[in-house]
Each structure stands twice: as structure tokens, then as C-alpha cells.
Amino acid sequence: MNFFFEGPGAAQNIGQFGLLFILLFLHFPSSSLMQQLCVTPDQGQAPATQFPRFKCHHFQQLHGKQPRIAIVGAGITGTTLAIALTRRNIPFTVYEQSLRATEVGAGLGIGPNAVRAMKIIDEKLFESFLRVRTPRDIRSLASKGCEVQEWKGKEEAPVWIEFLDGTSPVDARKLEPAFKVFAKAGDHLGAVQRAKWLEVLMGMVPGGVVQFGKRLEGIEQDGERVILKFEDGTMAEADAVVGCDGVKSKVREVLVGGREMYGAKSGYSGKYAYRCMIPMESALEVLGRERTGVSSLWMGHGRHVLTFPLGNPGTGQLLNLVAFVTDSNQSWPKQDSRSFTLPATREDVLRDFDEGGFSRTIQNLLRLTKDKMDKWGLFDLAVQPLPTFCSSRILIIGDAAHASTPHHGSGAGFCMEDVAVLSSLLEELVWSHDEPNHWDFESVFAALDASRRERDQWLVQSSRRAADLYEWRLPNTGKEHFEAMRKDIEERQVVCWGIDLDKTIREAKDDLRRRRGVLTQAAAR
């Protein structure tokens, strides 16, 4: 048996109560006594008997086997889930197809919903975010010469993004925003470099639990066993599988019954993007300090450009640039249907933005991009949304379940919400487990699906609409309709950020208890 003692004076408690505990356990080796001595997450108070407060590490070992969870994918979602399970003492192994931890893309936006999820997953995760983030608006930092970590975001409502007319001939230094979208005062908004953020996350995962070079080939279910087969010829066994393997998810293919089945493959959204990080000193010459110090979205016909700062002022700071284009062909080359990137050049992006009437400012900014870059096709699950995120003991979350375009800047936040709810449900299962050698992952996964699917799939659809708003492709959009556009965008951001995660988790736990109660009664009959 393994126990973790918590709180001040833990060592003294062990000495004072260790012998007493052993004698009691030998005399009363019952689960009821153990439940009195162990403090579960929902109890919150020490038992009335005033025994030392400690948490049983897999109290279920006394009754049967430990659960074994296989996480497929070591990107941001899979690694965050690993952190959540580590904190809750739930055994797992991560299987990642790459030979090392990697993350594509440059900057990643983090909104208040993501921050709330981090705090539920592990408070240390939130603390790590504060250390590496760049606030969405650093203009005051630049003038004060202070570090990002000193900024607390409590003085006033922080700017999430400023929207500008990308076709205006007015110089960027003098151009006023068409409108702004704010978060609430005290919200910890920010952006992180994807690779750096994943490095931080991996540092919070115990050694030896991530296996690299494991490209999934298939999954078989045999009663309560799940067998994972990998392309290198090896196999692994688990009690449950959680697919966190992203937009090209192999677990999703297995879940729906094959690669050619409905929902197996993500679809081309009809838009692509050029991504680049520009040295801040170069960007300052084109945009000026005011415009480079805040997240800005430059709107125009059939295209838009997003820029935001990354890094501390004066310490290797960069301007992250993403230039989005609506594809006139509305199709991605079939020969590259499994590759979402194509080689591109600076001339390609300049040629794309010759159309749409974009200003000289935008043209000059795009000239700062690299000679050679990638063109990223934006794929999602909007056309074929999944009817379920789970099947028996297989579950998908994050981009594997609801791959979205990035136009709300909330994809990572929704993935973290998934992890917060799932880890809370798994914790509920572990602490309430009373069936020897049986773990009811089916009910956990069904409760997660019921809690998350509608909201997650709303993001996929809303993100597409948001892009069409930015690109003036819808009725009542464009120069004469900025106020109506602002209201529409704000309403959507409220949905993105406004979730009450504590309430969501309570309701999901209640649903789990109902499902397990029904299953127990049915088994009794």
C-alpha cells in the first residue's frame, strides 16, 4: 500500500499514528474503516475521529487492480491530461508517434476560460503559464520597462484584441481601431510560444510515462481490455484509451469504424494561412510601438491578418503574424490530403494580398516575412461533426474530437476545458470505486461526451463564422457595419470565455453518478 500524507506536521503524524493505524487495520480490514480514514477530494474536512489527514494512493489496490489509462498523443492536450492525472494519482502511459515532443505553429492565445481550466487541472500549471506568457496588451509594459511577470492585469479590463480596417490608407501609427474587444478586469489573458509552452508542460510530467516513436496502427477491445497496436510491431494493453492525437487523429478513425466512415477525417475549411514570426525591431519600423504592443486583427475582403507580440519587452521580442486567405478554389490538393502544409514563398503571400484592396501598411508588413515559408491549410470537423466522442472504453478529446479553425483564439482553451472535466470525472470514479477488478470507464466517457460535445462543436461552427465576419463575407459586414460586427464578435467571445467550469463539473459528476446507479441496478436485475 502507498499513502501520501499531506499538511504541516505530516512526519509527526506518521510517528504518532502509524502503529495505531496498523493495529486498527489488522483488526478491522474493511473498506468502511479505510473510507473513514481517507479524505476524499469531495469531503474537504478531516474525519471526526481526528486521524491524520492523508490521501490513499489508489485506495482501490485493497480491492483489485489499478486502472490503466492509455493517452494517445503528447501534444498540448495529451500532456495537459497527463499533468491532471499525475496530480490525481491515476496511472497512465502516453504514446506519442513523434520521436520527441514537438508542437507546430508559433503563437498560442490563452483566454480566461483556459486559465480557469488550468487552475482546476493543477494550480502549478497556471503558475507556469504566468511565467512564460506575454499579455495581450504590453504597451504599458514597454513604457514602464517592466517584465511580463510583474503585470497582474487587475487595474483595468485588458484588451483581448483590437480590430482595424486593413484597407485604410491611414498610416498604422495614426490609424484608430474600428473597435476593440475586452476581457474582464483581473483576467489573465496572454499568448505563449507553442514549442516553449509544450516544453514547460513536459517538464511537469513524471519521467518514464511517455513513450515516443509509437505511431498507432489500430485498437481492439476485448471485454474490459483495450489493446493498442503500433506500426513498429509492438502492442500495449490498457483499461481505457483517451485519444489526444489532434486533427489527424487515428483514434477518431478507430472510434467511427474506419478511415472512410463519417467523421473519420477532418475537412478543408476553404481557408489557408501563412505564419511567421518577425523580429520586433523590424515590425516597429512598419507599425510603430502602439500597434506592435497589442493583439491586432486587420480586416479586409476575403483576407485578414492577425498580429500579436511574443516575449518580454527588450528581451528577444517577436511579432507573431498570421495572414489568412479565403481560397478561391475551396479545395486542398488531393495528393496532399494528409499533409496540411504546402511550400510557399514571400511572393505567394504578397500576391494573395494584392487582392482585397489591402493597404500599403499591410504590404510592407508582409514584406518582412521569410523568403520561404509554409502555407497551412485550415482543416476542421465542421462539415462532419461527430455524433459521439466515445465508444465503450475509447474516448477522444481536444482537436481529435472537435478540430476547429483558429479564428476565436480559443481552441487550446476548449481542449483544457475537456481535460478539466475529464480528470474531475476520473477522480470521482477512483474515489467512489467499489467494484473489485472493474472500472466503469464507459460511464465516465459517456458523461464527458454529454457534458462537452455540444459546446465543443459550437466552437467549430462559430469559428468559421468569425472568419467570415473578419473578411466581410457576410451581410451587414464591412466598413459601414463595424458596430454590428463588434456586437456579434463580443457575443461569441462571451460564450467562449463565460463558462462556469465548477458548475459544469458538478453537473457532469451528478450525471456520472446517475449513470453508474442505473448500471448497478440493471446488473442487479
Contact 27, 19 (CB under 8 A): no
Helix (H, G, I), strand (E, B) or coil at 163: strand
Identify the helix (H) or strand (E) that includes residue 413: helix 411-432
End-to-end alpha carbon distance in the chain:
35
> Which grid coordinates belong to 14?
506518521
Residues β-bridged to residue 143 = none
In angstroms, the CA 482 to CA 166 distance is: 13
Catalytic residue among 275, 393, 452, 453: 275
* Nearest to 94, CA basis, from 225, 241, 232: 241
Contact 149, 300 (CB under 8 A): no
CB atoms under 10 Å from CB of 425, counted, come to 23
In angstroms, the CA 85 to CA 89 distance is: 6
* Nearest to 190, CA basis, from 315, 316, 314, 311: 311
> Which grid coordinates belong to 75?
501534444
Contact 263, 385 (CB under 8 A): yes
Residue 88 is among the residues annotated as catalytic for this protein: no
Contact 172, 368 (CB under 8 A): no
DSSP summary character for residue 357 = G
Contact 385, 460 (CB under 8 A): yes
Residues β-bridged to residue 274 = 323, 375
Helix (H, G, I), strand (E, B) or coil at 264: coil
* DSSP-assigned letters across all residues of 81-103: HHHHHHHTT--EEEEESSSS---
Report which residue type is found at 320: N
- The residues assigned a catalytic role are 275
